[in-house]
């Protein structure tokens, strides 16, 4: 872990956010047009202004497949980036990511159990969400009982509980039908938005909103968490309450995201570091810019996943292929990473 740092001065959201917002809007529009069933740009623009598509099939693709998936990619990308940025501030650790407390491993256990029981797709999502929430509750309970530094206790509890989930997942995969069930489990664990439906967006929008709004509203206070606990308290911050708030909000958005997308690594780790290079460490800038960059990143990756190859490539594979080399490039550049 790193030592405490000085709190940066407050500042307005920079022009970087405007540029990212324009790029995100352009990528959103292009994504609506791209796919196995392409939608001509002129018809798409006409539809967005209220003119119906020329065919019912195009309307069905737009409303039931393309639009929900693109919205979900933006929501998941923004959520993972926001959770990663928040956790990095809370734990004062440049390697903190949305799954540091075991949210992803808990979701994996819930989803694997649901698939093993051959439950409907919507219950797989529900099991994954509940598994993630229960895991974080257990981790926080263990962390409170650890002697010494609470931050270290939380991280260690997360690692241990994640290890238990890993063993449980391995056992369930071992007992799964290798012809029908096991491939479905493996594919879910690799991450994908291929099964996104309008109902999926409806399911995650409430927990994601409940998690992201407080992170935006209280983003400047996260700066104080990068100080020592004594300094933060002397500046009037209730450290324990603020830390708990960030963890709960990060858990909500991570649980909701992973429950519908599967395990998507790196987005919550590299995006906050990239935005720090662009706008600095001030969370007034860092949090909204991270959300925009995360949404743009995952939307572009999802477009590559569904358009570049004949068979759709799971998102977790692509984010790892892009994220790991990019992170190496970040940490080897001149200047401080953290």
**CATH number for position 207:** 1.10.3470.10
Question: Is residue 169 in some structural domain?
Answer: yes
Tally of domains within the chain: 1
Confidence of residue 4 (pLDDT cuts 50, 70, 90): very low
User: Does the residue 184 lie in any domain?
Assistant: yes
Residue 6, domain member (yes or no): no
The reported pLDDT for the residue numbered 52 is 86
Q: What is the pLDDT of residue 298?
A: 97
Whole-angstrom distance, CA of residue 97 vs CA of residue 107: 15
Q: What is the pLDDT of residue 335?
A: 61
Please state, in angstroms and rounded to a whole number, the distance separating the CA atoms of residues 116 and 179.
12
- What is each CA distance from 149 to 153, 159, 270, in whole angstroms? 6, 16, 26
pLDDT at position 122 is 92
Q: Is the pLDDT of residue 333 over 90?
A: no
- Rounded to an integer, the average pLDDT of 109-120 is 96
Contacts of 149 (CB under 8 A, 6+ apart): none
The torsion defined by the Cα of 166, 168, 170 and 171, in degrees rounded to 10, comes to 160
| Residue with more model confidence, 338 or 274 | 274
> Could you tell me the CA-to-CA distances from 202 to 19, 72, 207, 260 in Å, in that order?
29, 10, 10, 11
The confidence score (pLDDT) of residue 13 equals 53
Checking 160-164 for CB contacts under 8 A at 24+ apart, the result is 161/102, 161/105, 161/106, 161/135, 162/99, 162/102, 162/105
* pLDDT tens digits for range 212-254: 999 999 998 898 887 777 787 788 888 889 999 999 999 999 9
Residue 336 has a pLDDT of 61
Handedness of CA 295, 186, 322, 336 (dihedral sign): positive
Contacts of 191 (CB under 8 A, 6+ apart): 261, 262, 263, 264, 265, 314, 315, 316, 317, 319
CB of 234 within 8 A of CB of 101? no
- The pLDDT assigned to 151 comes to 83
* Number of helices followed by number of strands (H, E) in the chain: 15, 0
Mean pLDDT for 47-68 is 91
Residue 52 CB coordination number (10 Å): 11
- As a whole number, the mean pLDDT across the chain is 90
Give the structural domain span for 236: 15-332
pLDDT higher than 50, residue 12: no
Cβ(314)–Cβ(260) under 8 Å?
A: no
* 132-161 pLDDT per residue, tens: 999 999 999 998 888 777 788 888 999 999
Is residue 117 in a domain?
yes
Cα–Cα nearest to 250, from 157, 143, 132: 132
Tell me, what's the pLDDT at 338? 61
Q: Are 7 and 226 in contact (CB under 8 A)?
A: yes
Task: Please indicate, yes or no, if residue 1 is contained in any of the structural domains.
Answer: no
Q: List Cβ neighbours of 180 (8 Å cut-off, separation of 6 or more).
A: none
Rounded to an integer, what distance in angstroms lies between the CA atom of residue 230 and that of residue 239? 9
Q: Residues 117-139: what's their mean pLDDT? A: 95
List alpha helices for 235-336, DSSP H.
239-261, 267-279, 283-307, 315-332
First to last CA, the chain: 10
Average pLDDT over residues 183-191: 95
Task: Give dist(CA 243, CA 145) in Å, integer.
Answer: 16
Band of residue 334 on the pLDDT scale cut at 50, 70, 90: low
Residue 157 lies inside a defined structural domain of this protein: yes
Classify residue 129: in a domain, yes or no.
yes
Domain assignment present for residue 337? The answer is no
């Amino acid at each position: 872990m790193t030592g405490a740092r000085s709190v940066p001065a407050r500042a307005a959201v920079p022009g970087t956010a405007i540029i990212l917002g324009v790029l995100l809007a352009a990528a959103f529009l292009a994504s609506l047009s791209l796919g196995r069933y392409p939608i001509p740009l002129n018809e798409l623009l006409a539809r967005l202004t209220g003119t119906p598509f020329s065919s019912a099939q195009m309307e069905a693709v737009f409303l039931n497949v393309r639009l929900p998936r693109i919205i979900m990619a933006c929501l998941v990308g923004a959520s993972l980036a926001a959770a990663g940025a928040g956790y990095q501030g809370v734990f004062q650790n440049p390697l903190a990511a949305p799954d540091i407390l075991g949210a992803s491993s808990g979701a994996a256990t819930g989803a694997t159990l649901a698939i093993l029981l051959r439950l409907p797709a919507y219950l797989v999502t529900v099991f994954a969400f509940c598994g993630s929430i229960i895991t974080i509750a257990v981790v926080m309970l263990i962390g409170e009982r650890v002697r010494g530094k609470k931050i270290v206790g939380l991280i260690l509890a997360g690692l241990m509980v994640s290890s238990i989930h890993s063993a449980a997942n391995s056992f369930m995969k071992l007992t799964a039908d290798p012809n029908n069930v096991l491939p479905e489990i493996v594919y879910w664990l690799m991450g994908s938005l291929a099964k996104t439906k309008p109902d999926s967006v409806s399911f995650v929008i409430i927990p994601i909103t409940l998690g992201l709004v407080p992170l935006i509203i209280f983003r400047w206070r996260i700066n104080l968490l990068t100080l020592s606990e004594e300094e933060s308290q002397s500046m009037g911050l209730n450290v324990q309450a603020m830390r708990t708030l960030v963890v709960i909000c990060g858990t909500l958005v991570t649980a909701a995201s992973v429950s519908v997308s599967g395990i998507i690594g790196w987005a919550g780790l590299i995006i906050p570091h990239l935005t720090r290079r662009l706008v600095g460490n001030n969370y007034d800038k860092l949090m909204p810019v991270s959300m925009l960059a995360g949404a743009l990143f995952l939307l572009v990756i999802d477009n590559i996943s569904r358009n570049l190859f004949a068979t759709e490539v799971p998102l977790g594979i692509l984010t790892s292929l892009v994220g790991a080399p990019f992170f190496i490039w970040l940490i080897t550049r001149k200047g401080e990473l953290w």
